[in-house]
């Protein structure tokens, strides 16, 4: 058998090739019909999960925003109380600052 005979397509072979193509096409359509609902179910579940994560993230952001506002309020309150204390007790405040600075320098000094 020569080389050209190996690659020659005969008319009889065309019928079987066409039948094979039709069978493969039917199989592909059947698989697509069966897999379609499963893929849709998975996609729907993924969308629900993403929506839930977005809701949780939004709630966390709102909670952090509220806590941030509370901390800013506490900071402003503490600062105002400190100003009032220093204004009312300047000598005592200076003594506290000197002692605190001395203790801090002793703690941080490298001996």
The reported pLDDT for the residue numbered 56 is 94
Q: Has residue 101 got a pLDDT over 60?
A: yes
Residue 6 is assigned to a structural domain of this protein: no
pTM across the whole model: 0.44
Residue 41 is assigned to a structural domain of this protein: yes
Q: In terms of Cα–Cα distance, which of 100, 97, 68 is closest to 85?
A: 97
Sign of the torsion angle spanned by Cα atoms 76, 82, 84, 87:
negative
State the Cα–Cα distance between residues 3 and 73, nearest whole angstrom: 90
Q: Has residue 59 got a pLDDT over 60?
A: yes
| Structural domain total, the chain | 1
Write out the residue range of the structural domain in which residue 72 sits. 11-108
State the distance between the two ends of the chain, measured CA to CA, in whole angstroms: 97
Average pLDDT score over the chain: 81
Band (pLDDT 50/70/90 cuts) for residue 42 is confident
Q: Has residue 62 got a pLDDT over 60?
A: yes
Return the higher-pLDDT residue of 20 and 82: 82
Residue 15 is assigned to a structural domain of this protein: yes
The reported pLDDT for the residue numbered 26 is 67
The reported pLDDT for the residue numbered 7 is 52
Residue 48 is assigned to a structural domain of this protein: yes
């Amino acid at each position: 058998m020569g080389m050209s005979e190996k690659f020659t397509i005969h008319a009889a072979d065309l019928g079987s090739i066409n039948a094979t193509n039709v069978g493969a096409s039917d199989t592909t359509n059947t698989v697509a019909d069966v897999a379609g609902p499963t893929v849709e179910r998975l996609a729907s579940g993924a969308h629900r999960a993403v929506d839930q994560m977005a809701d949780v993230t939004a709630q966390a952001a709102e909670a952090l925003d509220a806590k941030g506002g509370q901390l800013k309020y506490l900071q402003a309150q503490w600062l105002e109380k400190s100003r009032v204390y220093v204004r009312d007790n300047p000598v005592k405040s200076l003594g506290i600052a000197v002692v605190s600075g001395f203790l801090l320098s002793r703690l941080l000094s490298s001996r």
